Amino acid sequence: MAFELAPLPYAFDALEPHMDARTMEIHHDKHHAGYTNNLNAAIEGTALVSAGIEDILAQVSKHPAGLRNNAGGYWNHHLFWNVMSPKGGGEPVGEVGDAIKKTWGSFDAFKEEFSAAAKTRFGSGWAWLVKQDGNLVVTSSPNQDNPLMDDAPVKGTPILGLDVWEHAYYLHYQNRRPDYVAAFWNVINWDYVNELYKNA
């Protein structure tokens, strides 16, 4: 069973002006499609063809870097599209909202730590909000790594992820990564993040 590229859960221009349509189209149809195709090519003819993506991530250190990068890219972007929505933004809701306030004292304090993780990740990578043994932690990772990988320095279940590769923002924001990070708060789908929190 090959992995499939799910369609974006909204139109390319649905997150304007925060995420521009051209970037969304290229990011999904070229980058995410590329990770998906390369993941399928990497597992073809191996025992991993019948494995789930999270099973692959949980043993990724035993396999070549090409599988690591493409399995991570496949999983990470699927999360990324779904934690955003044209109806997003505002304050976190439900159990995850309570947990964020309990952990950081306020939503603003959480925003500050997550934004700092996104802005200071050098080069290409991701910022994450992770549920780890029932607690929330903020971390970041290089390239297409994520906290589901068996050799991740901070492990757990990502419930919010922000892509800070230049391909995610350069067309619209050029070198201004902090502006892109600030815009992300306007599109976060907290209902979806809350569901991930409850199920993690």
Residue ranges that bind Mn ion, judged by CB under 5 A:
163, 165
**The total number of residues written for the chain in this structure:** 200
From the list 97, 134, 117, 107, the residue with the least C-alpha distance to 178 is 117
Query: Which residue number, 165 or 173, has a Cβ lying nearer to Mn ion?
Result: 165
Nearest distance, CB of residue 180 and Mn ion, angstroms:
12
Nearest distance, CB of residue 32 and Mn ion, angstroms:
7
Query: Which residue number, 81 or 165, has a Cβ lying nearer to Mn ion?
Result: 165
Paired with 132 in beta bridges are 135
Query: Which residue number, 136 or 188, has a Cβ lying nearer to Mn ion?
Result: 188
Residue nearest Mn ion by beta-carbon distance: 163
Using DSSP's 3-state secondary structure scheme, residue 91 falls into coil
Nearest distance, CB of residue 195 and Mn ion, angstroms:
23
Distance CA 77, CA 180 (A): 17
Nearest distance, CB of residue 98 and Mn ion, angstroms:
31
Query: Which residue number, 99 or 183, has a Cβ lying nearer to Mn ion?
Result: 183
174, exposed or middle or buried, with CB in 10 Å at 0-12, 13-18, 19+? Answer: exposed
Scanning the chain, the segments in alpha helix (DSSP H) are 21-26, 33-43, 53-57, 65-82, 94-104, 107-120, 170-173, 177-184, 190-199
Nearest distance, CB of residue 34 and Mn ion, angstroms:
10
Cis peptide bond prior to 64, omega within 30° of 0: no
120 vs 115, 117, 132, 178, CA distance in Å? 8, 5, 22, 10
Query: Which residue number, 99 or 145, has a Cβ lying nearer to Mn ion?
Result: 145
Query: Which residue number, 145 or 163, has a Cβ lying nearer to Mn ion?
Result: 163
Scanning 51-167, the segments in alpha helix (DSSP H) are 53-57, 65-82, 94-104, 107-120
Nearest distance, CB of residue 80 and Mn ion, angstroms:
7
